[in-house]
Amino acid sequence: MRKINIFLTTLCLISIIVGGASCKKSTPKTKTELISQTWKVQKAEENGTTVFEIGGVQTANYTPLRLSFNSTGFTWIDSQNNSSSGTWIFASNDTEIKFTVPNNTSFSPATVTMSDLSEDRLTIKYTTTNTKGQTTNVTLYLVPAG
């Protein structure tokens, strides 16, 4: 009986040690790690009106738009399938993303405001101006493209 008790005690101790080692807390992802993927538009608003939503309203075509990030670089494919690449940084206490495109100082948007970032969503806001000088406030609700 004593041998069984020693065996069970030893087995319990080993289980506790192994079990405890596997319960390590994971380190939360940084904002750079969260944003580093390819995003697509789930919903787009222009001046507060929904103009595009997957499975719903589509008065504007945001289907081709993709925004891909890695730790320092990005590629933006706009709604006309035009591609721009360059570097990016977080700014204003990580509430803005500033884009730099070499040899294209007129890349728009040069800066976007980020209001939401997680593994499965990114919300950005920016203002565009057309050739007639009219401005449009754009909000993009992005989800992973994968």
CA separation, residue 139 to residues 11, 16, 48, 127 (Å): 58, 50, 8, 9
Per DSSP, the residues of 55-94 read TS-BSS--TT-EEEE-SSEEEEE-TTS-EEEEEEEEETTT
Averaged over 42-67, what is the pLDDT?
95
pLDDT-based confidence at 79, cuts 50/70/90? confident
Residue 26 pLDDT: 85
Helix (H, G, I), strand (E, B) or coil at 37: coil
Residue 108 pLDDT: 81
**Span 100-110, pLDDT tens digits:** 999 887 788 89
- Tell me the pTM: 0.80
Residue 23 pLDDT: 60
